[in-house]
């Protein structure tokens, strides 16, 4: 009764603009990841003070000030990288990405030091008690996300360094920066839950 391909072509009145799929996809991923973190945070809060043996958070945890400053400022540098790329400033973008990589690595080093300190000086492992279980899994889950983001940032940094990044990639870099902001926001929550409320 009807032929195929007869849907008429648009008689353009206004341009048809749709959101960027990378950004929408990343927001979806962030929603899913946020739910995962929410469950781990819930478990952490639920098990606060329920450990049958020591050590307790108050005995062993110290505020990770340096790491926190590094990670939070890396959000600023990645934002600067995207902003520079938008304006076509490739050099600024490379610098911003390099700074982000350095700051993220510094954060991971402080986490590694903290874990080394906890494991070798206080004998706290994931098996020790409920605090160890929930602490290492929550902080470890966040650190895993930092590592994934760091690998992507390193890739972007080298692409930028070798001159393969152009202004057209600004939206793609923005997807990565969105992820990175999320990782930072999660750290704010982890910091509050583990080091402020939980201590």
Partner 1 sequence: MATSTTGLEAIDVTAPPTQPPGPSLIYQWLTTVDHKKIGLMYIVYALLFLVVAGIEAMIMRVQLAVPNNHAVSPQVFNQLFTMHGTTMIFFVAVPVLFGFGNYLIPLMIGARDMAFPRLNAFSFWISAFGGLLLYLSYFAGSGLYGAGAAPDVGWFAYAPLTAKVFSPGHSSDYWTLSVLLSGIGTTGTAINIVATAFCMRCKGMTLMRMPLLVWLFVVASCMVFAAVSPLTAAQIMLCLDRYLGSHFFDTQAGGSAVLWMHFFWIFGHPEVYILILPTFAFVNEIIPVFSRKAIFGYPAMVAASVAIGFVSLSVWAHHMFTIGLGPAGNTFFVFATMVVSVPTGIKMFNWLATIWGGKVIYRVPMLFCVGFLFQFLIAGLTGIMLSAAPFDWQLSASYFVVAHFHYVIVGGILFSLFGAFYYWYPKVTGRMMSETLGKWHFWMFVIGFHLTFDFMHIPGLLGMPRRIYTYEAGRGWELWNIIIGIGAIIQGVATLIFVYNLIYSYFRGPEAGPDPWDAWTLEWSTTSPPPDYNFAIEPSVSSARPLWDLKHPEDQDSRYE
Residues that bind partner 1 (CB under 8 A): 1-2, 4-10, 16, 18-21, 24-25, 28-29, 31-40, 43, 46-47, 50-52, 126-127, 129-130, 132-134, 136-137, 141
Nearer to partner 1, 19 or 163 (CB): 19
Nearer to partner 1, 31 or 147 (CB): 31
Q: What is the CA radius of gyration of the chain?
A: 22
Q: How far is CA 165 from CA 149, 169, 176, in A?
A: 18, 6, 14
Q: How far is CA 120 from CA 60, 70, 71, 137, in A?
A: 12, 25, 25, 18
CB of 128 to partner 1, least distance (A): 9
d(CA 136, CA 132): 6
CB of 108 to partner 1, least distance (A): 20
Structure token digits, residue 176: 């990565």
Nearer to partner 1, 49 or 88 (CB): 49
CB of 139 to partner 1, least distance (A): 13
DSSP annotation of 4 reads S
135 burial via Cβ count (<10 Å: 0-12, 13-18, 19+): buried
Nearer to partner 1, 1 or 196 (CB): 1
CB of 151 to partner 1, least distance (A): 18
Which one, of 175, 113, 182, lies nearest residue 146 by Cα?
182
Nearer to partner 1, 98 or 140 (CB): 140
State the Cα torsion 100-153-31-43 to the nearest 10°.
-70
Nearer to partner 1, 6 or 162 (CB): 6
d(CA 40, CA 174): 27
CB of 91 to partner 1, least distance (A): 31
CB of 19 to partner 1, least distance (A): 5
Can you tell me which residue has the tokens 């999660």? 186
């Amino acid at each position: 009764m009807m032929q195929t391909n007869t849907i008429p072509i648009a008689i353009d009145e206004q341009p048809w603009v749709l959101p960027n799929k990378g950004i929408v996809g990343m927001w979806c991923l962030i929603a899913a990841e946020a739910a995962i973190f929410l469950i781990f945070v819930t478990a952490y809060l639920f098990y606060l003070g329920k450990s049958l043996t020591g050590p307790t958070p108050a005995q062993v945890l110290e505020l990770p000030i340096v790491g926190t400053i590094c990670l939070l400022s890396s959000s600023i540098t990645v934002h600067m990288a995207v902003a520079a790329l938008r304006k076509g400033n490739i050099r600024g973008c490379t610098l911003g990405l390099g700074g982000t990589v350095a700051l993220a690595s510094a954060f991971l080093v402080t986490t590694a030091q903290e874990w080394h300190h906890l494991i070798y000086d206080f004998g706290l492992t994931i098996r020790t008690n409920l605090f160890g279980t929930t602490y290492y899994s929550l902080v470890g889950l966040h650190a895993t996300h930092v590592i994934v983001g760091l690998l992507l940032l390193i890739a972007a940094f080298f692409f930028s360094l070798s001159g393969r990044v152009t202004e057209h990639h600004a939206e793609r870099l923005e997807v990565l920066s969105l992820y990175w902001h999320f990782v930072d926001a999660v750290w704010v929550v982890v910091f509050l839950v583990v080091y402020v409320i939980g201590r």
